Amino acid sequence: MTASDPTKLGFVHRFEAGTASHRPPLLLLHGTGGDESDLLPLGRAVAPGAALLSLRGPELENGMPRFFRRLAEGVFDEDSVRRRAADLAAFIGQARTAYGLPAPVALGFSNGANIAAAVLLLHPGVLAGAVLLRPMMPLADPPAVALDGLPILMLSGAQDPIVPEANARALAEVFRRAGARVEHTILPAGHGLSQGDVTAAEAWIAGLAK
């Protein structure tokens, strides 16, 4: 079953009900210029049968949807990050009630990974885990939080021209200091997604169901 409601819960989104109750639902968060349909094929590939909740970013940059504003490439408007992370956390709670879902695992790419990271740091307890594809630090001074045992997979690209490896490693360390169970892999890839991302995410998500 596929459902779409552009206004009811505050974010344009699509929902696909799950057929595999042992899999956690996935919250799909696209990169710059994507929409609520972009990551549905990836979600189906890495978590067959999982419920999928796929959003469209509410900010526009030259007509391209994003989840928060930025001042330049790699330079984020942190007021926007905080405000939109709060909006997303509220949406997740409303969507769980509307669709009868447990806490979802975020699957975010680029800008979507960054807003997922911000939710993890600013609203702990909202997400059951996260797959962060090409993430970077969303806040210059992240708060100290408790993410005891929360599973997080980070997949970075060794040739990524947008996300410095040191930045991604620093984010992984922030999560580890918070007590999260972090797996951070550097793939032989650029900023775009590769088959390696699909394979790694599928295996990791399958491990959550065990």
**Catalytic residue numbers?**
110, 160, 191
The answer to whether the beta carbons of residues 200 and 170 sit under 8 Å apart is: no
**DSSP 3-state assignment of 168?**
helix
Sheet holding 26-29, edge to edge: 2-4, 13-16, 52-55, 26-29, 105-109, 129-133, 151-157, 181-187
Residue 170, both tokens? 């620093």
* Number of residues assigned to the chain: 210
Helix 111-122 and helix 165-177, axial crossing angle in degrees, nearest 10: 30
The answer to whether the beta carbons of residues 103 and 79 sit under 8 Å apart is: no
Q: Which residues pair with 98 in a beta bridge?
A: none
The type of residue at 34 is: G
